[in-house]
Structure 1
Amino acid sequence: MRPTSAQRKSWSNRPNSSATRLRGRALQQARAELFKRNPLCVNCQKKGILRLATERDHVIPLFEGGTDDASNTVGLCNPCHKEKTQQESNRARGITTKPRMNSGCDVNGIPRDKSHHWHK
Structure 2
Amino acid sequence: MATLNQVIRKCRKSKPKMSKTPALEGCYQRKGVCNKVYTTKPKKPNSAQRKVARVKLTNGKVVAAYIPGEGHNLQEHSVVLVRGGRVPDLPGVRYHLVRGALDLQGVATRTTSRSKYGTKKPSKSN
Higher relative strand content: 2
- Larger-gyration structure (1/2): 2
TM-score, normalised with respect to structure 2: 0.25
TM-score, normalised with respect to structure 1: 0.26
